[in-house]
Every structure is written in structure tokens, then in C-alpha cells.
Amino acid sequence: MRATTTARFRRLLGVTATVVLTATTVPAAVASAASAAALREVMFVGNNWEGTADVIESSGTFTKLGRINVVPDKSQRLTEIYLNPIKLAYFLGIRQGPGEGHDQLVDDLYSTPDGTALVASRPSFADVVSIDLTTGQVKWRFAVSGYRADHMAVSPDGTRVAISASTSNTVHVLNINTGAQLGSFSTGDKPHENVFTDGGRYLWNMSIGNVETDLDSPLLDWTKGDRHITVVDTATYQTVKTIDMRSRLNAFGRNDLSNAVRPAVFTPDSAKLYFQVSFFNGFAEYDVATDRITRVKTLPKNPATSNDRTTYVNDSRHHGLSMSPDGTKLCVAGTMDDYATVVDRATLQEGTLVPAAKPYWATVSGDGRACVISESGADQVTAIDFATGQKIVSVPVGDHPQRVRLAHVPAGWTSPAR
């Protein structure tokens, strides 16, 4: 009976397949779809406060290859905002809140399967745009519901892009080539991370709640709103499962931890999910089949890190998590503790604490050998060897890099003329 129940639960959540959309497997799927074309694998680095994307080599020296303006229509967008009092209020609120005094001009970003365009979410402009990689012009634009766009995810076949509309508690799913909406669904408060599973059949969304307030005391946790994982069937965009980590964390004996799930990554066999939560310097391990937390890892505290939770950027103590392709190592961005580290997944023992200035994301290099983090406080990306846990190289990029994604551009590509 137990085996049958477990198998049914795994099928419901879409984790029976071994292909799971992560920072590592998405680009591989896109590369397969575009293999007939003459494409070059690269990394896109989104410079949030600058509104640009740097294009760098996907492995090796990570040399910078060019730059793309992600806001070529900035004047037009600002005019629309300044003429609408409600849009202006949200625009200024984003600047003073999550933007830390800056406009948020590019959050997440991917390439289309044919490598001809960059698709990016722009929080302050509440939209998603496709930028032609040859001309630098906007190919299409989709205005999300509400007033802010956030994290995205691309389906394994590279044809669909999901975007969190954080102020309307909605996820939109678009045709990545045309921008046409294919579907949408409701989430918890402030949808954030998105992950496709089961070859694209299911989509997991993690809502993080009200991170813009200073009501960060554990006693005021109830003010943070409804935070849960929403799992939908991408054929219908109907919810098939919701998972509130509150009860799972409580059952594990960690009622002190927030249930706001931040960056998350599945193991290659889809059996376990690792995720970060608000205010916590560490991560949790969730067993999908048994629907329970199995381990929690606390990572070292930087002595210089304040204990004042209101100083953590958007409630995120640690924000950035990736896994080596063989599933043996985790790479953790210790955002407010100013380090990154490679963790052995079997023992959960961390390696060297590699100094980093407010690392905001972690992904995997094209050759799978390195973890690549964005250092938003130093305007650079840094590669760390999965095998040794040691820093390989740092490469300067634009102002406040956040999301880093593997992508493809045409062979011989150069930056569009400005």
C-alpha cells in the first residue's frame, strides 16, 4: 500500500521523470532544440540597476563577449508611468523598496531556442520583452498583470516562458517566440521562483510573501501573507497540488524558520528538492515522495553580518542555489554573509567559504565544472570549481548583477549597435 501511495504522489507532482528543469538542464534542452543552427553557448548576466545584459563565455575564462541594452524603450515606458499616478506610485515604491534606491530594469533573462533574441523580465516596467540580438530592438512586449515582474523559467523544449507577476499573485506562461499568453494561474502572495518538472508537464511556483515590509520579527511572521508552493499541470494550468512548508518545517522541529521558499533546485532524479527560506543562513532538504523535510543545514554566519533582520535585502539572508550536474554538490550564495560555498550533498558539509560581495544568484557553467555566482555588491560574476570549492576567476560586469543564465547567440555574434 505504501509503495502504491508513494508512486501516485510522485506522479501527481510530476517527478517520475529524471529530467527536471534547473539552471543546468534548461540550456541543454534549448541547445538540443537549436542544434541544427550555428549557435554559440554563452551566459547572460542581467545587470538589474543598469538595464543591461552582459554576454560572457559559458565556461573556461568566462570572457566578456558583448552587451545588450535591455531597456531600448526606456523613454516610452517612463512616459507611460509618469502619466499614470497608480503606476508611478508602484514604480517609486519598487525603487525605494526592493530596488534599494534604484530602478529594477532587468531581473530574469533567457534566449529563444534559435538564439535570435533575449527574453527578459523588467520589474520596474512590469513587463517581459524580447530583444532582437542583431538589431537590439524590442520584438515583442507583454505587460504582466499588476505592477511588477519577477523570476522566470523556460520549459525544457525552450518554447514557453513563465513569469511571476508579484503584485497580482499570478504566473503568466507565454510563447517565447511571439509573447502570446498560453495560460496563467493564481499563486500565494508574491510569486517568486518558477521550476518546470516532468519534461515540462508541471510547473512549480514558490510564493515568498510580503518581503517589502520591516515587520520581520518572528512574532510578526503572520503579517507576511500566504506563502506556499503551487504545482500546476501545464496542459490546463490547473493546480494539482499546494505545499505549505510551514507544517513540514514544524514537523521537523524548525518552527523558527520561515516558510517563504526562495531559490530551489531538484536533484537529477527529481527525488529531493533543496530550497532556501527567508532570513536563514542555510537551506532545507525536502523529500518529494514522502512529502517531508528530511534535513536542514545551517551554514556559517559571517561575524560582520547584522542580526537585525530588517537589514536583509528583501528578507533574503541567503539567495542563490545550484547543483552540480551529477547531483553530488550544492553551491550556495550566502548573500548577506558575503560568501559562497560548495556543499557536499551526502554529508551537507560545506567547503571553503569563498569571499563574495552580496552574491545574489548561483548557476552552473556550460561544461558543468563550475558554479557561477553573481556578486551584486562588486559588479562581477565569479566561478567556483565544484570539485575543489575554490575560486577560479572573477569577471567584471554591469551595475548590480543578479540573474545569470546559460543561453545561446548566433555564431560570430557581436553586440548590437547602440
pLDDT at 212: 87
Report helix, strand or coil for 234.
Answer: coil
The C-alpha atoms of residue 261 and residue 191 are separated, in whole angstroms, by 10
pLDDT at 36: 45
pLDDT at 20: 34
Residue 10 lies in a domain: yes
The residues pairing with 140 across neighbouring beta strands, listed in sequence order, are: 130
Residue 415 lies in a domain: no
Q: Which H or E element spans position 246?
A: helix 245-252
Residue 272 lies in a domain: yes
Q: Please state the separation of Cα 11 from the chain's center in Å.
A: 25
Residue 16 lies in a domain: yes
Residue 148 lies in a domain: yes
Residue 378 lies in a domain: yes
Residue 299: DSSP 8-state? P
End-to-end CA distance of the chain: 64
Among residues 363, 359, 191, 208, the alpha carbon closest in space to that of 281 is found at: 359
Q: pTM for this one?
A: 0.90
Per-residue model confidence as pLDDT tens digits over 76-122: 999 999 999 999 999 999 999 899 999 999 999 999 999 999 999 99
CATH of the domain at 238: 2.130.10.10
Among residues 362, 314, 354, the alpha carbon closest in space to that of 337 is found at: 354
Structural domain boundaries, residue 216: 2-410
Per-residue model confidence as pLDDT tens digits over 123-150: 999 999 999 999 999 999 999 999 999 9
List strands edge to edge, sheet with 64-69.
64-69, 52-57, 39-47, 401-410
pLDDT at 353: 98
pLDDT at 270: 86
Q: How far from 378 is each of 104, 183, 398, 400, CA to CA, in Å?
A: 17, 38, 9, 8
The C-alpha atoms of residue 128 and residue 108 are separated, in whole angstroms, by 9
Residue 416 lies in a domain: no
Among residues 295, 305, 364, 307, the alpha carbon closest in space to that of 335 is found at: 305
pLDDT at 6: 39
| Domain count of the fold of the chain | 1
pLDDT at 408: 97
pLDDT at 390: 98
Residue 417 lies in a domain: no
Residue 144: DSSP 8-state? P
Report helix, strand or coil for 335.
Answer: helix
Positions of the chain with pLDDT lower than 70, given as ranges: 1-37, 418
